[in-house]
A and B are shown apart, each in its own frame.
Chain A
């Protein structure tokens, strides 16, 4: 009874897209975060915001500065 319930809970994800929980080793690597170096990303976005007409996409398009 107990094991049946456990198995039922574990099987809900069987057919869905994406890896199983125990296949998430690579996703757990810090460099696989979408923004692993926030200050680097912020610097890039700041520079491009002040030199190009497009901004945002990854996040908010606002610049928070008068450099444009």
Chain B
């Protein structure tokens, strides 16, 4: 046995230096990446949560079925997402969505105690919105000849609405396909920097989106500040052309075929881990939209000032500028086997709309592989200042008018529940169902004549079912 003490030699000094480097460097990296999050392997429930520093891929697939009450819109939407995570925080995401929508949509006109007739341009053969009188309740009509028009354009489509029924166009059918791609990674002192783009195409609409994002973590990763910049460029090329706002509904093809809309906005976000159990996020968003925001298919009734009978039907017209702001506050609380989410959103815009949204969900992890998650959502909005259920024939035309109930004052409530099942440590299957109802004022004080006997709120009731699968792998 001997205890030695001498001046350190070359190897000893070097080991001393590299040991110090190792411990200081790992102390910093352990602080930054949250020790427990760095814990590799399976959690109590047997799930493989991967974690920072592990490269893995996550596949998400889901099928959404959406069905509105009263034989209105139904949609089937398969979606898939692939997220490829690199070991150093890089992330590549690819997404695809397909949409098949069909059914009847309220055209915006008020119900009447008499039969109403509407005319609209006839889609040529081969278009997916070909309508037969049997299925769509429409008939082909011969338009009065106009000089210089091609033969097919001299035909129109006409549909009728029975007395005391909400006028609906049953010829609505559309397909949509969308692709998204995004990339993000840490870069120097920036915790996350990235960008993405999306493309969506429908038969009468196209949308191109782009976004960039930067985020910085502070305070042992307990605080994140992020900024997202978003842009969207949309083209609307409605069937039959773009109608002139507040002109009479007709079956002619319109000379303007395409209108555009641009949207620019940002989201400033703060995410804070408040305690071991409580995660909070606060977002402020601002968006500016310019261009064509009118629904080209939607009309508004002009009614007689005493009888309330529709005397004419005009295409709606909306302002070309919209500026929106929202404040979103999200909380997630983990206690025992439960995770509670509570969020609130305040939204306001320069169209006079403001809204409050409260959402709550409670995930309860049951024995082993199952969980259930009931949820509820309350929504209230005020009407846009150009919302009119109808126009009156003896009054001057306003500059903008829309009878779209989505721009009216209404409340909406969603009830739902989700059941999830862990198939393996790395995959999960879930099913959820939601029921959504809007309720608004169907009998406004300004209703005239026969309108007093009609329900003027054409709100939606819809069931939403979604089946999804998540799979993580190397």
A and B from one complex: yes
* Distance in angstroms between the alpha carbons of A24 and B32 in the assembled complex: 12
On chain B, the residues within 8 Å of A59 by CB distance are 228, 267, 283
The reply to whether B36 and A29 form a contact with Cβ atoms under 8 Å apart is no
Q: Which of B28, B236, B279 contacts A32 (CB 8 A)?
A: B279
On chain A, the residues within 8 Å of B326 by CB distance are 54, 56-57, 61
Could you say which of B263, B276, B328, B438 has the most chain A C-beta atoms within 10 Å of its C-beta? Answer: B276
Could you say which of B220, B223, B236 has the most chain A C-beta atoms within 10 Å of its C-beta? Answer: B220
> From residue B374, how far is it (CB to closest CB) to chain A in Å?
14
On chain A, the residues within 8 Å of B328 by CB distance are 56-58
Q: Given A18-B274, A57-B285, verify A37-B468 contact (CB < 8 Å).
A: yes
Q: Given A21-B35, A22-B35, verify A61-B178 contact (CB < 8 Å).
A: no
Q: Given A5-B20, A66-B202, verify A24-B37 contact (CB < 8 Å).
A: yes
Q: Given A21-B35, A34-B271, A34-B279, verify A9-B24 contact (CB < 8 Å).
A: yes
> From residue A10, how far is it (CB to closest CB) to chain B in Å?
6
Main secondary structure of the interface of B (DSSP, over half): strand
* Listed stretches B58-66, B121-129, B302-310; interface member: B58-66
On chain A, the residues within 8 Å of B460 by CB distance are 51
Q: Given A60-B211, A64-B178, A66-B234, verify A30-B49 contact (CB < 8 Å).
A: yes
Q: Given A29-B43, A54-B353, verify A40-B466 contact (CB < 8 Å).
A: yes
Could you say which of B49, B285, B328, B381 has the most chain A C-beta atoms within 10 Å of its C-beta? Answer: B285
> From residue B265, how far is it (CB to closest CB) to chain A in Å?
6
Q: Given A22-B36, A28-B39, A53-B355, verify A34-B281 contact (CB < 8 Å).
A: yes
> From residue A17, how far is it (CB to closest CB) to chain B in Å?
6
Instruction: Annotate B434-469 by CB proximity to A: 1 below 8 A, 0 otherwise.
Output: 001010000000000000000000001010101010
Per the 8 Å Cβ criterion, residues 1-47 of A in contact with B are 1-3, 5-6, 9-10, 12-13, 16-32, 34, 37-40, 42-43, 46-47
On chain B, the residues within 8 Å of A17 by CB distance are 219, 222-223, 272, 274
Interface size on A, residues (CB 8 A): 54
* Distance in angstroms between the alpha carbons of A43 and B43 in the assembled complex: 29
The reply to whether B276 and A26 form a contact with Cβ atoms under 8 Å apart is yes
The reply to whether B222 and A28 form a contact with Cβ atoms under 8 Å apart is no
On chain A, the residues within 8 Å of B276 by CB distance are 19, 23-27
The reply to whether B274 and A54 form a contact with Cβ atoms under 8 Å apart is no
The reply to whether A53 and B384 form a contact with Cβ atoms under 8 Å apart is yes
The reply to whether B79 and A43 form a contact with Cβ atoms under 8 Å apart is yes
Q: Which of A10, A58, A63 contacts B27 (CB 8 A)?
A: A10
On chain B, the residues within 8 Å of A1 by CB distance are 20
* Distance in angstroms between the alpha carbons of A5 and B328 in the assembled complex: 41
Q: Which of A2, A22, A39, A60 contacts B20 (CB 8 A)?
A: A2
* Distance in angstroms between the alpha carbons of A21 and B347 in the assembled complex: 36
* Distance in angstroms between the alpha carbons of A26 and B220 in the assembled complex: 16
B154 interface residue (CB < 8 Å to A): no
> From residue B404, how far is it (CB to closest CB) to chain A in Å?
9
Per CB-CB distance, the 4 closest pairs between chain A and chain B, nearest first, are A66-B205, A18-B222, A57-B328, A21-B35
Q: Could you show 20 A-B contacts with beta carbons less than 8 Å apart?
A: A18-B274, A34-B330, A34-B332, A37-B468, A39-B61, A39-B62, A39-B81, A47-B462, A48-B379, A51-B462, A53-B349, A54-B326, A54-B345, A56-B287, A58-B328, A58-B330, A60-B265, A62-B207, A65-B176, A66-B236
A-contacting residues of B (Cβ < 8 Å)? 19-20, 23-24, 27-28, 30-31, 34-37, 39, 43, 47, 49, 51, 60-62, 64, 66, 77, 79, 81, 99, 101, 176, 178, 198, 200, 202, 204-205, 207, 209, 211, 219-220, 222-223, 228, 230, 232, 234, 236, 263, 265, 267, 271-277, 279, 281, 283, 285, 287, 324, 326-328, 330, 332, 334, 339, 345, 347, 349, 351, 353, 355, 357, 363, 379, 381, 384, 406-407, 412, 418, 430, 432, 436, 438, 460, 462, 464, 466, 468, 470
B-contacting residues of A (Cβ < 8 Å)? 1-3, 5-6, 9-10, 12-13, 16-32, 34, 37-40, 42-43, 46-48, 51-68
17 other A-B residue contacts (CB within 8 Å) besides A13-B222, A60-B265: A5-B24, A12-B31, A21-B34, A22-B35, A27-B34, A38-B81, A40-B468, A51-B438, A52-B355, A53-B355, A54-B347, A54-B353, A54-B379, A60-B287, A61-B265, A62-B207, A66-B207
